[in-house]
Structure 1
Amino acid sequence: MALYVKAAEILEKAERKQGALKTLVYDSKFQNIKQLFALVCETQKFSSVLLDIIESTKLLKQTKLKLHLAKVLVYDLLMGQGLKCGGSFKSTMMKHRPRLQAELARMKVKRKVSRNEDLLPVEAQMPPGEQLPRYVRVNTLKTTVEDVVDYLKRDGYTYQGQASRLDDLTLKEKNFVKDLHLPELLVFSPKTDFHDHFLYKAGHIILQDKASCLPAHLLNPPPGSHIIDACAAPGNKTSHLAAIMKNKGRLFAFDLDAKRLATMSTLLLRAGVTCQQLANQDFLKVNPDSPQYKDVEYVLLDPSCSGSGMVCLQDRTAADQSRLASLAAFQLRCLNHAATFPRLKRLVYSTCSIHSQENEDVIAAFLQQNSTFRLVRLLPQWPERGLEPLSQCLRASTSKTRTHGFFVALLEKHSEALSSTPQLTNQIRAVEEAKTVTLEASDPEDSQTSPPGKTEDAPSSKKKRRKRKKKQKTEGNEH
């Protein structure tokens, strides 16, 4: 009973824009988060179908149930694995089950389909070939990719080597491969479940979508770095950063929600992270000039967003433009604030959104306001790029990258990049030479000096200038 009450509560809050669905589930502290998350996601996905069934059967009027509670109950009764409750809820729903089942059958006949999924709008359906693989990131703070592969092979899984193309990620049963882009990522068939596996419980593997692994991978801070993870919870990216820097250095992680931060602390402990400094603080209120941040050179910013790229969270209706505008304004403020840390070298910005208002538009506005930063072109072999003209950025999607929808941009402080870029160095040299030529040309008496490239005449030219000045001074005294 508690499962359905909590699921209905989360769906109602999400509908009122009180938070992203994933965040609301995560914050609920429900005993079985996985079960709750699956029920909420599937109910939302079939929301329009469930509403039609409920309205056609007049279920609310006859049961006095509230809409969101009715949706989760009808979903589990007709499309899920059956009701997982007893008491009044079960007896009420079982009483109306024949009429609900008949209405679902009528809908299928009317639309000439046989599967529940075929009742969804076309844009909400995911072809079988586009089901997302199960991605597993090896936690190199505790083990190695080789050791995990060997363990899984002994556990009955079949290793097929490293993938070389996207089609290699289409896997069946207990087959798995190493990802073609990220060296510490293993890929399994969609139905593979590791929540009860020893490697997961021991913190040797992290269950994390491939797109979510990109920000830390691309920021790539060296061991010993000082880094900020600006909006850190639930902590997967934080643990990834710690693994990349080999737990050497300092990793400042901020989140405004104390409960999320506490859960994140447990996750980092299980992952073996020791370099972190967690703070229950709004990143926008962090003082960049504080002495403790004087050596911060890297920032990972994954701020609150619409979540429109998450497969089970995608809003299939038209985007709420006012909400997107509000989110984009917040995201830009976070970016601008990150840019004020005095020794910043690199800044990664990412969202799990498909909307350009939260992605390219935010980056374009930031670059317009911060001329000392430039975009770094990321993974030339990546199949999906940012919208023009920001093709240096990456996008991700179910169809083109076999991941959740995602966006990543890497910004580099221009002053840091100048000395390391030959082309820019040549431009600086050319400018300096042009200035020298201009200064020399401004003296008409010296415009006919020795040709370029001959330096032996330079001393005689200086002597001539001194003689002229001495002569002028002498003549002036005589007058």
Structure 2
Amino acid sequence: MAVKKNRKAKLGDGEIEQKGKMQQKEGQPTEGKGTEGKGTEGKGTEGKGPHSIRVPQLYKQASVILKKYENKEGSLKTLIYSGKYTNYGVMFGLLTKLVKNQEAVKSAIAASNLLVEQPSFDPHLAQVLATQALSKGSVVGKCKPIVVFKEYEEKIKATAANSFSAKAAVKDKDLLPRYVRINTLVSSVTDVHAQLKKDRFILQDYDPSVESYDDFLERVKNLVTPYYLVDYHIPELLVFPPGIPFWNSFLYKKNAIILQDKASCLPVFVSDIQETSNVLDACAAPGNKTSYIAAKMNNQGKVIAVENDLKRFETLVKMIRFRRASCVTSLNKDFFTLKPDNFPNVEHIFVDPSCSSSGTTVHNDEVSKERIAKLASLQTILLKRALSFPSVKEVIYSTCSVYKEENEQVIEDVLTQYHEEFELADLATCLKGWKHFGHDTYSFGNKCLRTDINIDKCTGFFVAKFVRKQAGKGEKRKSADEECHDLNPPKSKKEKKSKKSKKL
């Protein structure tokens, strides 16, 4: 294994090869050069020592994706399917099992002393190999990292045997429908529906002015291929049966559609941004929310996207460019270090900070109280910072956490300082028929939105909307409830039909 000068190499580091195809059996990859079509070992390994044999591509690529995922550079699916890998299905299955069982996998590796006795071993590769061993029974290969890993394999398997579930990922993977947001910066709603029709999908029509939200959820529950729906609340969001692959579709490659869960669309949907607004996205990467903001503004006005982490920032810049969000300016800075007085025209701020991700389907492990407390402290600081901007009229706070410490408790702590300047909008008026709100142990709980993964069929999420009580020179703003109500003004049946026909 080649080691670059002035660089301490880890076991498992090296160049990822993405050329050619591999034949895989039972999820075991080929390894080494010249192995195409030659089974597990292949020609390239004969007569070579462990140091000269490359790490199997599946394991190497999976460890790189895992590292990016932990750095929050994108969702697991996005990171897997946006790459040029040869076996998406096997990769997704392996990594989903890993993330679902990550606590057990890490604990077993720690108990084995692998990373203590082998400090140069890549910890992400160790997790990948451990998951493979636990789900398939063993790891096959003769490269140096696998040879080293096998010395600890039995201890890892014995430690995690009772806590690792190979079926857990498969069980939960298909709970949620496939949500697709139309990127109106690239294509019109009409053109996207027309292309879907060419792709042999069938739009299942319904009348939201007649049907209830419960009726719609029943439709989602019974949705089967090739049918799809327009979302009950968000007209540019489409709902497909679980597992529909769009990764190789014309619309996806063109960035005319974006794979984005309904819950993560809610902060932008309930906001009061207009085409001429001045917006700041405080924790912007990987860019789904930012591009949706730009689309809602029709690329008018101004959006400042802030991201502190360099790698996540690079991902953000690429996403913004691919999705043609030309009104966005990206800043590689820590939001907390920005001086509010340097942004005198910012009216809307979105705060979607790092959180426990406990509302997502791939984070079922219990998060420690210490970790939650640290996250909540950071979240509170960032939210207070957003509310300190001199001209901000609206601040949207959201997390993909189910813990009240990261949600209602943060809101309560912030309101103790800012209750005279800001109030919470009643988001119940923004979403017809919605039934899940903040904890009723808080006086403001019913004004905040929550999503229930089992009922709303989307990721677990929390959203709160702060609106400034006074604006400008003592002028009284509309109440928060009136502003939210303006998002969904009452319409006549004739107007509803006319608007619906345009959308579809």
TM-score, normalised to structure 2, is 0.67
- SS of 1:312's equivalent? coil
Q: 1:259: Cα distance to partner?
A: 2.3
Which 5+ residue runs of structure 2 have no aligned equivalent? 1-54, 209-214, 483-504
Give the counterpart of 1:374 among 390, 413, 423.
423
- Residue 425 of structure 2 aligns to which amino acid in structure 1? V
- After superposition, residues 311-460 of structure 1 pair within 5 angstroms as 311-314=361-364, 316-317=365-366, 319-370=367-418, 371-378=420-427, 379=431, 381-388=433-440, 389=443, 390-416=445-471, 418-421=476-479
| 8 Å Cα contact 1:250/1:276 also seen in 2 | yes
Q: Distance in 2 between matches of 1:411 and 1:383?
A: 20
1:311 deviation in Å? 0.8
Counterpart Cα distance in 2 of 1:365 and 1:59: 42
Computed over aligned residues only, the root mean square deviation of the Cα atoms, in angstroms, reads 4.4
Distance of aligned partners of 1:285 and 1:312 in 2 relative to their CA distance in 1, 3 Å threshold: same
Matched, 1:161 2:205: yes
Structure 1 CA distance for aligned equivalents of residues 267 and 459 of structure 2: 14
- Alpha carbons 1:25, 1:36 under 8 Å: kept: no
Report deviation, 1:69: 4.6
Aligned twin of 1:223 = 275
Partners in 1 of 2:340 and 2:108 — Cα distance? 55
Q: Counterpart amino acid of 1:372?
A: E
| Residue identity matched to 2:195 | Y
Write the mapping of 1:65-214 to structure 2, written as runs, cut at 5 A.
Answer: 69=125, 72-73=128-129, 75-76=131-132, 79=135, 116-117=166-167, 131-162=175-206, 164-170=215-221, 171-214=223-266
CA deviation digits over 1:11-64, x for unaligned, max 9? 6999xxx85696899899995587766533321324578799999xx998xxx9
Shift in Å, 1:221? 0.7
Work out whether residues 10 and 25 of structure 1, in 8 Å CA contact, stay in contact via their aligned partners in 2. no
Aligned residues: 400
Q: State the 1:70 CA deviation.
A: 5.8
Larger radius of gyration: 1
Change (3 A) 1:31 1:421: closer
Residues in 1 aligned to 2:295 and 2:261: alpha-carbon distance in whole angstroms: 17
Question: Of 305, 308, 314, which residue of structure 1 is paired with 2:355?
Answer: 305
Deviation at 1:258, TM superposition (A): 2.3
Tell me the distance in 2 between the aligned counterparts of 1:327 and 1:133.
Answer: 29
Measure the CA separation in 2 of the matches of 1:26 and 1:369: 39
Query: Over residues 115-168 of structure 1, what are the superposed CA-to-partner deviations in whole Å (9 max), with x where a residue is unaligned?
Result: 952xx5xxx99569x701110000111222232122111111122125752121
- Cα gap change, 1:90 to 1:341, in 2 (>3 Å): closer
2:340–2:390 CA contact under 8 A, matched in 1: yes
> 3-state SS of the aligned residue for 1:391?
helix
The CA distance in 1 between the partners of 2:481 and 2:261, in whole Å, is 37
Decide which structure has greater helix share: 1
Instruction: Give the superposition deviation at 1:383.
Output: 2.4
1:428 matched residue in structure 2: none
Structure 1, unmatched stretches of 5+, are 109-114, 425-479
SS in 2 for 1:247: coil
* CA-CA distance at 1:89 after TM superposition: 7.2
In the TM superposition, 1:15-54 aligns within 5 A as 31-32=83-84, 39-47=94-102
Give 1:271 shift: 1.1
- 1:74 deviates by 5.6
Rounded Cα–Cα distance in structure 2 between residues aligned with 1:267 and 1:84 = 37
1:423, 1:235 → 2: CA distance? Answer: 29
Q: Does 1:295 align with 2:353?
A: no
Shift, 1:298, TM fit? 0.7
Call closer, same or farther: CA 1:343–1:68 in 2, change over 3 Å.
closer
The CA distance in 1 between the partners of 2:231 and 2:371, in whole Å, is 36
2:390 and 2:301 map into 1 onto residues whose CA distance is: 18
Distance change (3 Å), C-alpha of 1:29 and 1:245: same
Paired AA for residue 260 in structure 2: Q
Q: 1:325 to 1:96 in 2, by over 3 A?
A: closer
Give yes or no for contact 1:220–1:244 (8 Å, CA) kept in 2: no
**One-letter amino acid of the counterpart of residue 142, structure 1:** V
In 2, the alpha carbon distance for the partners of 1:24 and 1:223 equals 32
Distance in 2, matches of 1:197 and 1:84, equals 35
Deviation, 1:313, is 2.6
CA pair 83-421 structure 1, distance change in 2 beyond 3 A: same
Whether the aligned pair in 2 keeps the contact of 1:309 and 1:405 (CA below 8 Å) is yes
Specify whether residues 364 and 54 from structure 1 end up closer, same or farther in structure 2 by C-alpha distance, changes over 3 A only.
closer
Offset at residue 372 of structure 1 (A): 1.1
Q: What is the aligned partner in structure 2 of residue 251 from structure 1?
A: 303
**Aligned 8 A contact 1:11 1:21 in 2:** no
Confirm or deny: 8 A CA contact 2:425 2:480 kept in the other structure. no
Matched residue type, 1:377: D
Aligned-residue offset at 1:410:
0.7
In 2, Cα distance between equivalents of 1:422 and 1:188: 34
